[in-house]
Amino acid sequence: MHFTDLFIRRPVLALVVSLLITIAGLQAIRSLNVRQYPRSENAAVTVTTVYVGASADLVRGFVTTPLERAIAAADGIDYIESQSTLGLSTIKVRLKLNYDSTRALAEISSKVDQVRNDLPPEAEVPVINIESADSAFASAYLSFSSDVLLQNEITDYLTRVVQPRLAAVEGVQRADILGARTFAMRVWLKPERMAAFNVSPAQVRQALASNNYLAALGQTKGALIQINLTANTNLQTVQEFKQLVIRQQDGAFVRLEDIADIVLGAENYTQEVRFSGQTAVFMGIWSLPNANALDVIQRIRQEMEAIQRDLPQGISARVAYDATEYIQDAINEVIKTLIETLLIVVVVIFLFLGSLRSVLVPVVAIPLSLIGAVFLMQVFGFTVNLLTLLAIVLSVGLVVDDAIVMVENVERLLRKGLRPLDAAIQGARELIGPVIATTIVLAAVYAPIGLQGGLTGALFQEFVFTLAGAVIISTVVALTLSPMMSAYLLKPDIEDHGLAATSVRLFNRASKGYGRLLDYTLRWRPAVYLVWVVITLLAVPLYLMSPVELAPSEDQGVIFGILEASADASLDQTSLYAAAANDIFLGIPETDFTFQLTSATSGFGGLVTKPWEQRERTVFQILPEVQQKLSGIPGIRMFPVTPPALPGGGDFPVEFVLASTADTEQILQFAQQLQFKAMQSGMFLFPPIIDVKIDQPQSEFIIDRDKVAMLGLDLKQVGGDLAAMVGGDYVNRFDIAGRSYKVIPQIQRTDRLTPEQLQNIHVTGPAGQLIPLSTIATIRNSTVPRSLNRLQQLNAVKLSGISMRPLDEALKFLEDEATKILPAGYTIDYTGESRQLRTESGRFLPAFALAVALIFLVLSAQFNSFRDPFVILAGSVPLGMFGALLFTFLKIPDPNVGFWTSGWTTTLNIYSQVGLVTLVGLVAKNGILIVEFANQQQLIGLPKLEAIRQASIIRLRPILMTSAATIAGHFPLTLVSGAGAAARNSIGLVLVGGMFIGSLFTLFVVPSIYMLVARDHDKERG
C-alpha cells in the first residue's frame, strides 16, 4: 500500500490532518508580532563626549582620537565614523550585520573606560548609546505646544508627568523628549560690574562650587532614639542664588546679584522646535523589539486621551506622526492584494476545470496551506511584516499547483474509464514523485537566500522560509486531503456537460494545435537549439545592462528637509529662513502637518502628507516642486529627501567617502573636484553635499606669555577665567521638587556679540586685582573647518546626494572619476545605503549559482540521473531568466524621464533578485512534470521520441493550469499602488514576466533538449 492510499481509504484521517493544521494556524495568528521589516541585529553604537567650549581641533586630538583608537580594538565592527565639532565629539560605530549588539556594547563600554583617564578632566563622561537600524525613527512622535508656556516649562511638565506615564505603557521601550529645554539656573555675568567690584570669573565659579554643597550628615545615635540630620548647605531658589556672597571686604558683601542676573532659564538656547509653525516640544515613542508596534501605539493613543484631559491650560498635545499608520496601510494593501489574488486564482482554476466539484479541491488547499504557513511562522519565531505578508501573497499561486496537478491527473484517469476511488489511488501514486520533487526543488531554491547572510539574508530569511513552509504544507495537503476529496467529489461524467465540457473541447483543440507545433519543433531540433543558445546568451547582457539599485524607493508619506546655513549664522537668523521653508511645506496641497528642529547652522524638518486616499500625487511627484521652491530661499540651503526604503540607510542614497592620512584641506580639494564633475554630469538632483566646510570664522586669543609671566600669572589661570566667562559649562546642580538641574555661569549675550567685545572683559591680575584681557592678549582671526571628520581612523570627506539615475550608476561614475584624480594613499569608502549596495552587489550571483546547484543535486538524487536534471534546468531556467530580465533591461534609468516602458519595468534590486531566484524553482516545475512522465512512458515501452511527445501533450493541461494559476496569482502585484507597493511591484514583474515567457518556451525547448541529452531507456532494455 502506498502512502497516499491510506488517506484515500480512510477519509477521516485526512480530515483530521487538515483540521490539526487549521487549529495550529488559527491559534498562531493572535500570537505573532507586527513589524515593518523582520527584526535583525543591525545596530550602531554612538559614543558622545561633551567638552564645553573646546575647538574642533582640540576635541579631535584629545577626545576623539584616543577614544577611536581604543574602540577600534573591539570585535564585530563594520566601520567607525567620527565627527569633531566645537565642544562635541561624536563617534558612530556601525556593527557588522547580525553581530550580537549586547556583546558589542559591553566590549565598547569597556574600551571607553580604559582611556577615560586619558581624556581632559574638563571633558564630560562619554555617553554610550546603542540604536538598532530599524529603530532609527520612533514608532510615533507626539507634539506638545503652547502659546502661553515657555519651552523649558513645557519640558519640565513632560519630564515630571507625561514621560513617566508613557514609559509605563506596555510594550514601550523608551519615551524620549526631543528638542527639550531643560531648566537650569542661568547666572548671566556682567563684565563691567565684575570689574567694578574686582570679582574675577574664577571667584564666581569657586563661590558657586563652595556654597552650593550637598551635605550628607546621616543621623544621631542616642540610647533610645535616633534623628535624621540635614543642613541647608545647598541653594534651591533664584533668591538664594542672588544672595550668595561672592567676596567680602571690610565688612561689605559682594553678592551674586550685584554682578549678575540670575534667572531660572534653560540649559541651552541653541535649538528651536516647531510643529506646523508653532513652538513645540516633541516626544518620541520607541517600541520594544519583541512588541507588536501596532498594539503599542494604540495603547499610547489611549493614554494620550487620558493625558489630554489632565493637561494644564495653555498646552495642546497630539500624535504628530504615527509610523505604524504606514505599516498598517502597507499591511492593508497586502491583504487587499491577497484577496484579489485568491479570487483571480479561483476564477482561473474554474475556467480551466469548468466544474465546481473540481475547483473545490484546489480551492480548499489554498487557505489550509496559508494557515499552516502561519503556524510555521510561530514555530520559527517570525513576525508579521511586509516581507512575510508578501510571501503569503506569492504562495497563493504556488500552493495551488500540487492540488491542480492532482485533480487534473484524476480527471484524466476518469476519462479512461476508471472508478473515482481507483482513479484517485492510481493518480496519487503517479504523482507522489513529481509532487515531492517540485516541493524539494522550491525549498532548495530558497535555502541559499535564507542562509546567505548580509542584508538580503537578514531581510529575506523570514520571507523565504515562510514561502517554503507554505509550499511544504501544500504538499502535505496535496498528498493527503486532495486525493481523498478527488475520490469522493469527482464523477466520471463531470466533463460531459456545462462549462466543463466547453473547457475540455477548447483544451483539446489547444492540445492538438500544440501537438502539431511540437512535432514541427522536434523535426527541426537544430533550429530549436540555436534559438535556445541565442536566448541563453542574451540573458547575460540583459543582466549586465539592467539598472541596479539597492531597493525601489517607497512612498512613505513623508518628505524630510535637511537644512544648511552659513557657519556664522545665529539661531535667530536661521529661524527666519526656516520659517519660510515651513511656509513652503504648508503650501503644498497634500501636506497634513510640518515639523522642524532648527539650530544655528543646521536643521531638520519636513512635511507629512495626507493619507493615500486623500491625495492624488505621490511624494516623488511632490518632491520636484518642493525642491524648486526651497531653492528660492536666500540664506539657507534645504535639501528635500525621502526616507530610505530599507533599515540602516543614511540621510542620502549617495554617501561616498574619500579618506586619507592627508590633511582635511587636501582631501577637500579632491572632493570639490568630484563635486564639480558630478554637477556637470547631470546625474544628481543637486550638487552633492560635502560634509566638511572650511568656512567657520574663528578668533584666537594670542596671549603674550612673557607679560603673563611678568605679572606673576599663569596660563591656566587666564584660560580658566576665559572659559568661566564664555564657555557656558556647568558648575554643579541644584534641586527643584526632587529633581536636579544645572547651575551655569556665563557672560550675558549682549557682552559677547563679537570677539572684540571680549577684550574688554577682566581677568585675574597681580595681587588679586583685575586687568583687561587686552593687556595680555590680542586677537588673530582665521577660518577653520566646521567639523573634522574621520572614517576608519582616517581623515575623511563625504559627498552626499540624490541620484537621478540608478544608485549603482551614480556610484560607478564617482568611483571612475575618483580613480582618475586621487593620488596614492587615498581610499574610497561608503556609508549608509551606498555601503549596503556595494556590500550586497556581489552576493546575488553566488546565491543564484548555489540555488541552481542545489536544485540540480536534488533532482539528480530524485531521478537517479545527472542527465534529466540538466534537461529540466537547461530547458527552463535560461528561458525564464531571459523573460524576467527583459522587464529590468527595458527600464529607463532616469526616473524623471517618462517612457512607455516605465509602468511595467523595474530595476535589479534585492526584491527583483529574490524574484529571479524564486523563478528558478517555478519554471523548473514544468520541466519536472514533462521529463518525469516521459521517463515513465519509456519504461512502459514507448520510443524516446514518442515518449517525450506523449509526455508533453499529456502534461500540457496541468502545466498550463499551474502556470496560469501562478501568473494570475502574482499578476495583482504588478498593478498595486499605495504603501509598500514598489517592492511588491518589483518582485511581481519579474515573476510574471519570467514565468509567462519561460513557460511558453519551456513547452518546446525541453522536449528538444530531452532528445539531445536524456537517456534512451529503449536502448538500455535492448
Q: What is the CATH number of the domain that holds 843?
A: 1.20.1640.10
pLDDT tens profile 822-866:
999 999 999 988 988 888 877 788 888 888 888 888 888 888 889
CA distance 993 to 996: 5
Q: Which residues contact 645 (CB under 8 A, 6 or more apart)?
A: 550, 551, 552, 553, 554, 982, 983
CA distance 800 to 689: 5
CA distance 456 to 458: 6
CA distance 1021 to 247: 116
Instruction: Mark the ranges of the chain whose per-residue pLDDT is less than 50.
Output: 1022
Both 852 and 760 in one domain: the answer is no
pLDDT value at residue 656: 95
Both 855 and 960 in one domain: the answer is yes
pLDDT value at residue 614: 85
CA distance 984 to 975: 9
Report the candidate in 269, 92, 264, 90 with the shortest Cα–Cα distance to residue 179. 269
Both 842 and 990 in one domain: the answer is yes
pLDDT value at residue 645: 78
pLDDT value at residue 106: 92
Report if residue 162 sits inside a domain: no
pLDDT value at residue 819: 93
Report if residue 931 sits inside a domain: yes
Report if residue 240 sits inside a domain: yes
Report the candidate in 728, 698, 729, 711 with the shortest Cα–Cα distance to residue 772. 711
Both 862 and 1003 in one domain: the answer is yes
CA distance 975 to 985: 7
Report if residue 183 sits inside a domain: no
Buried b (16+ CB within 10 A) or exposed e, 652-680: bbbbbbbbbebebeebbebbeebbebbee
CA torsion angle for 479, 482, 483, 486 (degrees, to 10)?
-170
Both 752 and 850 in one domain: the answer is no
Both 486 and 534 in one domain: the answer is no
Of 475, 494, 513, the position where a domain reaches its end is: 494
Report if residue 1001 sits inside a domain: yes
Q: How far lies 721's CA from each of 197, 730, 745, 763, in Å?
A: 16, 14, 12, 6
3-state secondary structure (DSSP) of residue 735: strand
- Number of domains within the chain: 3
CA distance 315 to 150: 10
Say if residues 464 and 452 touch (Cβ distance below 8 Å).
no
Both 770 and 851 in one domain: the answer is no
CA distance 362 to 375: 20
pLDDT value at residue 57: 92
CA distance 878 to 543: 12
The set of long-range contacts for 723-730, using a CB threshold of 8 Å and a minimum separation of 24, is 723/53, 723/122, 724/201, 724/202, 724/204, 724/205, 725/189, 725/191, 725/201, 725/758, 725/761, 726/53, 726/752, 726/758, 727/52, 727/53, 728/52, 728/53, 728/268, 729/52, 729/53, 729/122, 730/184, 730/267
Residue 292 one-letter amino acid: N
Q: What is the CATH number of the domain that holds 772?
A: 3.30.2090.10
Residue 38 one-letter amino acid: P
Domain extent for 718 = 200-219+227-258+696-784
Q: State whether the Cα torsion 447-448-450-453 is positive or negative.
A: positive
Report if residue 318 sits inside a domain: no
Report if residue 383 sits inside a domain: yes
Both 459 and 548 in one domain: the answer is no
Both 738 and 870 in one domain: the answer is no
pLDDT value at residue 381: 87
pLDDT value at residue 133: 66
Q: pTM, whole model, 2 decimals?
A: 0.81
Both 921 and 872 in one domain: the answer is yes
Of 749, 784, 819, the position where a domain reaches its end is: 784
Say if residues 660 and 826 touch (Cβ distance below 8 Å).
yes
Both 849 and 913 in one domain: the answer is yes
pLDDT value at residue 134: 64
Report the candidate in 554, 558, 811 with the shortest Cα–Cα distance to residue 681. 811
CA distance 192 to 103: 55
Report if residue 56 sits inside a domain: no
Residue 813 one-letter amino acid: F
| HSE-CB of 848 using CA atoms within 13 angstroms | 19
- The phi, psi pair for 75, rounded to 5°, reads -85, 160
Both 839 and 738 in one domain: the answer is no
